[in-house]
Structure 1
Amino acid sequence: MTFRNSAIQLLASTVAVATIGIGSAQAAEKFNLSPDTSNRIRAEKDEAAIKTISPSFKFVQKGKFTVAINPWDPPVATYATDAKTVVGTDPEIAQLLADSFGLELDLVPVAWEDWPLGVSSGKYDAVISNVTVTEERKEKFDFSTYRNDVLGFYVKADSKITAIKEPKDVAGLKVITGAGTNQEKIILEWDRENVAAGLKPIEVQYYDDRAAADLAIQSGRADVEFNPNATLAYSASIKGSTKLVGTVSGGWPIAAEIAVTTKKGAGLADAVTLALNDLIKNGKYGEVLKRWNLTSEATAESKTNPPGLPKSGS
């Protein structure tokens, strides 16, 4: 069963007005959500990476690294307390790469659906916004991996659910996930397996609003949320109202990776990969992930265009 409950969303928005100040204060104490970017972790110019950039590649703006980003959720990318500056793991990875290329960073907030055309048309040099490598996307884009794609199952802090490791563990549960996402594909496949095995079906729920999803979990209208681990772990650490009960790869049953995305054949991907590997070696990369509590998603090596998630039906 699928649905979007407008009434719940409206109620959640009302509740959010009373709680957002507390949540923001807690977040500011635990994570740096200041618009002051002078304290970002910085890197030295990487001459080897610069030399790897194809002579045919031209940056969108002279002297700048123009990066599209979707400020969707902390700690990956969100707006700072001034509601304008974008902060989080991805903005800081972008900063490290700009430093490595000896360029100024120009971070451009965009809607998720707008980045593919922007990168393809040359409007942006790259997108760094939690993009998963897929075989379909590789037809139009090049990838330089920088994080493992991990999805998490989160339940109410006092829930009797203690572990979700395989499809049968979610049989009969009300599960929140994102429409049109890899996690939706996974949970629907788990549901098919369960139904085929004679188990109770899953009730899948979709919410466009973060507060509505939170309210659904806390009120018992939903049993579990299955979405990117990074954002749910952040929320759990700030609010303490949910807990992790299981993780799977974003590409279940195969591994999935998050990557810096550039135009196919533009001549920048190998340089980005080299810069990322140098940042991994010198520890700057690790510092950024530690700062945003994402060390568990760290990759040991950046790769250019590794195998991606298969196309639907393949």
Structure 2
Amino acid sequence: MKIFNTTKSLVAGVVVLAALGLGAAQAAEKFDLSPDTSNRVRAEKNEAAVKAIPSSFKFVTPGKFTVAINAWDPPIATYASDAKTVVGADPDIASLIADSLGLELELVSVAWADWPLGVASGKYDAVISNVTVTEERKEKFDFSTYRKDVLGFYVKSDSPIGAIKEPKDVAGLKVITGAGTNQEKIILAWDKENIAKGLKPIEVQYYDDAAASQLAIQSGRADVEFNPNATLAYSAGITGKTKLVGTVSGGWPLTAEIAVTTRKGSGLADPVTIALNGLIKDGKYAEVLKHWSLAAEAIDKSLSNPPGLPKS
């Protein structure tokens, strides 16, 4: 995961937009990056979720759901045009959970490295910031899943490539990915499998920035980009110049999921899970993900403390 403080996150957002040949106004029009959150999707109180909150649990501030969030990249979470309001899919999910629990949302922007101690010490009620469930993290935290951890294959919008589902589908293709990442590990494993079967090797390409990657795709120097789905979906949603043709779990060959993270044994995980399942059932959850072009990451059911990625 990328880690940005306020200034770096703003710079990153500008770089992404510039790389796509876009202005902030165009992105704001598509994804509503204004600081006005009055039109944010809202939910009704979920009485079952409220009743599940143990009497022993004390919120950081009575009547509020205090959530730590790292504004690392759109569309997950980023800073609005006022440079201080955090907007994106995770803030919207946090808002829905707060509504369901009958609480007012209090978002606290934090550096990625700071949330574990903050949640463990009770400084924050939860962190909702693209945290993947792992067995190591489960030793210190409880989880309520709300999104798949997804990597996406994106091609030029008029590409003849219609679907990428398995290793043979990328045989002989020129694939952009990130050096030293999970996605690189996966694509190299797929390439090895293809070669062992006598298929054409993959030409793996690496670029330093989004501008170079986009240019390579649009010019035909590369066939497909394989990187985190969320940021590629954001690009595709704004420009219309690329399209999603396949997804792979970020934990391939295992399934990885993103979750609301709470203090171990606090008793808040189950109420949050109940709230999320209510939001999945009434469609509010899907509405948020669709708005941020993250429908490919939707889950059918939230789970408390499911199996996580194994320790390395």
For Structure 1 versus Structure 2, the TM-score category normalised by the shorter chain is 0.7 to 0.9
Residue 122 of structure 2 corresponds to 122
User: How far 1:197 moved relative to its partner?
Assistant: 4.9
Whether 2:278 is the aligned partner of 1:244: answer: no
Residue 175 of structure 1 corresponds to 176
Whether 2:205 is the aligned partner of 1:186: answer: no
User: How far 1:56 moved relative to its partner?
Assistant: 2.6
User: How far 1:162 moved relative to its partner?
Assistant: 5.0
Whether 2:231 is the aligned partner of 1:231: answer: yes
Inter-CA distance 19–224: structure 2 relative to 1 (3 Å threshold):
closer
CA distance in 2 between partners of 1:173 and 1:190 (Å): 13
User: How far 1:307 moved relative to its partner?
Assistant: 1.8
Question: Secondary structure of the equivalent of 2:22?
Answer: helix
Residue 265 of structure 1 corresponds to 265
CA distance in 2 between partners of 1:186 and 1:166 (Å): 11
Task: Name the aligned partner's letter for residue 77 of structure 1.
Answer: A
Residue 289 of structure 2 corresponds to 289
CA distance in 2 between partners of 1:119 and 1:311 (Å): 21
Q: Work out whether residues 191 and 202 of structure 1, in 8 Å CA contact, stay in contact via their aligned partners in 2.
A: no
User: How far 1:144 moved relative to its partner?
Assistant: 0.6
CA distance in 1 between partners of 2:296 and 2:174 (Å): 27
- Superposed, 1:88-107 pairs within 5 Å as 88-107=88-107
Inter-CA distance 280–37: structure 2 relative to 1 (3 Å threshold):
same
CA distance in 2 between partners of 1:60 and 1:285 (Å): 25
Residue 83 of structure 1 corresponds to 83
Gaps of 5+ in 1: 1-11
Residue 9 of structure 1 corresponds to none
Question: Secondary structure of the equivalent of 1:164?
Answer: coil
Q: Work out whether residues 178 and 227 of structure 1, in 8 Å CA contact, stay in contact via their aligned partners in 2.
A: no
CA distance in 2 between partners of 1:278 and 1:14 (Å): 36
Question: Secondary structure of the equivalent of 2:135?
Answer: coil
Task: Name the aligned partner's letter for residue 244 of structure 2.
Answer: L
1:91-142 deviations in Å (ceiling 9; x for gaps): 0110111122222211122233332232223222111122222222222221
1:42-101 deviations in Å (ceiling 9; x for gaps): 122233212212233222223321111122222222222222211111101101111222
Residue 204 of structure 2 corresponds to 203
Task: Name the aligned partner's letter for residue 275 of structure 1.
Answer: A
Question: Secondary structure of the equivalent of 1:259?
Answer: strand
Name the stretch that deviates more: 223-232 or 64-73: 223-232
Inter-CA distance 211–60: structure 2 relative to 1 (3 Å threshold):
farther
Task: Name the aligned partner's letter for residue 309 of structure 2.
Answer: L
User: How far 1:281 moved relative to its partner?
Assistant: 2.4
What's the TM-score once normalised by structure 2's chain length?
Answer: 0.82
Inter-CA distance 234–202: structure 2 relative to 1 (3 Å threshold):
same
Residue 138 of structure 1 corresponds to 138
Name the stretch that deviates more: 225-234 or 157-166: 157-166
CA distance in 2 between partners of 1:174 and 1:278 (Å): 39
Residue 9 of structure 2 corresponds to none
CA distance in 1 between partners of 2:113 and 2:76 (Å): 17
CA distance in 2 between partners of 1:77 and 1:98 (Å): 17
Inter-CA distance 21–171: structure 2 relative to 1 (3 Å threshold):
closer
Q: Number of residue pairs matched?
A: 299
What's the TM-score once normalised by structure 1's chain length?
Answer: 0.81
1:160-204 deviations in Å (ceiling 9; x for gaps): 655433234155634222744x43442343244345556536536
Q: Work out whether residues 79 and 86 of structure 2, in 8 Å CA contact, stay in contact via their aligned partners in 1.
A: yes
Gaps of 5+ in 2: 1-11
Question: Secondary structure of the equivalent of 1:262?
Answer: strand
Q: Work out whether residues 46 and 275 of structure 1, in 8 Å CA contact, stay in contact via their aligned partners in 2.
A: yes
User: How far 1:234 moved relative to its partner?
Assistant: 1.9
Question: Secondary structure of the equivalent of 1:272?
Answer: helix
1:189-238 deviations in Å (ceiling 9; x for gaps): 3244345556536536364x544544554566755322222321221121
Q: Work out whether residues 179 and 206 of structure 1, in 8 Å CA contact, stay in contact via their aligned partners in 2.
A: no
Identity of aligned residues (%): 73
CA distance in 2 between partners of 1:229 and 1:304 (Å): 24
User: How far 1:258 moved relative to its partner?
Assistant: 1.7
CA distance in 2 between partners of 1:43 and 1:13 (Å): 29
- Superposed, 1:154-169 pairs within 5 Å as 154-157=154-157, 163-168=163-168, 169=170
Question: Secondary structure of the equivalent of 1:38?
Answer: coil
Question: Secondary structure of the equivalent of 1:40?
Answer: coil
User: How far 1:156 moved relative to its partner?
Assistant: 3.9
